[in-house]
Structure 1
Amino acid sequence: MNDPLSEAWDFQARAAAEQDDLCRIPGGSWIPPILQDLVLAARSTSLSRYYPFTSHATLRFSTGPQWWLGDGDILAVAIALVPEGRYLVYTQTSHDGPSSAGLETTSADEAAATAEQLVNAAG
């Protein structure tokens, strides 16, 4: 039996590895090749109960597989990739609202743990 949530995480891990490979090409992108580490770190937390997706060099999470069709909501917590191999964990209450930074770190595990704490605190 297929598990859509597990499949979504598997897909995101494969896509992250491919993205990282492209980012390793000299001059290919400003985005550091650190997405796969982040996806794996997030998957090892309770964030794995949400559907992962990327948007503008940011790992986001939703409560449903097709949030853009109304099947789920986007969580207010996101983790952006920033230059020099850093992650920026932040919250944003709406797609066009202001964001509030929670942590900037070079550790994928720390970024995922902070995002997990923020999601759990929001209830």
Structure 2
Amino acid sequence: MDVTGDSRESVEAEWDFRARAAAQWDERSRSSTTTWVPPIMEALVGAARNSPLAQFYPFTSHARLCFSTGGRHWVGDGQVLPVCIALLPGGTYSVAHKNDPAQVLLETTSADEAVATAVASLHEHLQT
């Protein structure tokens, strides 16, 4: 257990948490008149979880789904992977380099296409 009292320790537990959080995210987005964030996170998390990205720890940052090799990357337990998938206004996903969002690999309205592009860009990180 980490210092925040969070007991999510396994990749599977983190995906379970992220799926619940994505459903809540989308519900808030649907019912809010003050947010630009489209209600498309749940579809993205589902597509990523059903892909080779499921071997990594998912986390969100600034309306982006990101991935790490460890559950607590912020304290040195794991490395953040170099690609993330951002939500854009209008229900679009943007697959981009994590540290340079201007390096866009794809913009699409399909969660499956966004995930496939992310997977293809991470071929050297994926376990087969």
Give the TM-score of the pair, scaled to structure 2. 0.87
Q: Which runs of 5+ in 2 are unaligned?
A: 1-7
The aligned residue for residue 46 of structure 1 is 52
Q: Which runs of 4+ in 1 moved over 2 A?
A: none
Matched, 1:67 2:73: yes
* Partner residue of 1:102 out of 71, 91, 105: 105
Aligned-residue offset at 1:98 = 6.2
Mark the CA change 1:71 to 1:3 in structure 2 (over 3 Å): closer, same or farther.
Answer: closer
The residue type equivalent to 1:71 in the other structure is D
Q: Which runs of 5+ in 1 are unaligned?
A: none
Identity of aligned residues (%): 49
Aligned-residue offset at 1:91 = 1.1
Query: Counterparts of 2:55 and 2:12 in 1: how far apart (Å)?
Result: 9
The aligned residue for residue 28 of structure 1 is 34
The aligned residue for residue 97 of structure 2 is 91
Are the counterparts in 1 of residues 71 and 78 from structure 2 also a CA contact under 8 Å? yes
Matched, 1:112 2:115: yes
Structure 1 stretch displaced more, 23-32 or 107-116: 23-32
Structure 1 stretch displaced more, 55-64 or 97-106: 97-106
Give the TM-score of the pair, scaled to structure 1. 0.90
The residue type equivalent to 2:107 in the other structure is E
The residue type equivalent to 1:35 in the other structure is M
Deviations 1:5-36 (A, max 9, x none): 10000000000000000000141310000000
Structure 1 stretch displaced more, 15-24 or 113-122: 113-122
How many residue pairs were aligned? 119
Query: Counterparts of 1:32 and 1:50 in 2: how far apart (Å)?
Result: 24
Query: Counterparts of 1:98 and 1:79 in 2: how far apart (Å)?
Result: 10
The residue type equivalent to 2:115 in the other structure is A
Query: Counterparts of 2:75 and 2:18 in 1: how far apart (Å)?
Result: 19
Provide the secondary structure at the position in 1 that maps to 2:87. strand
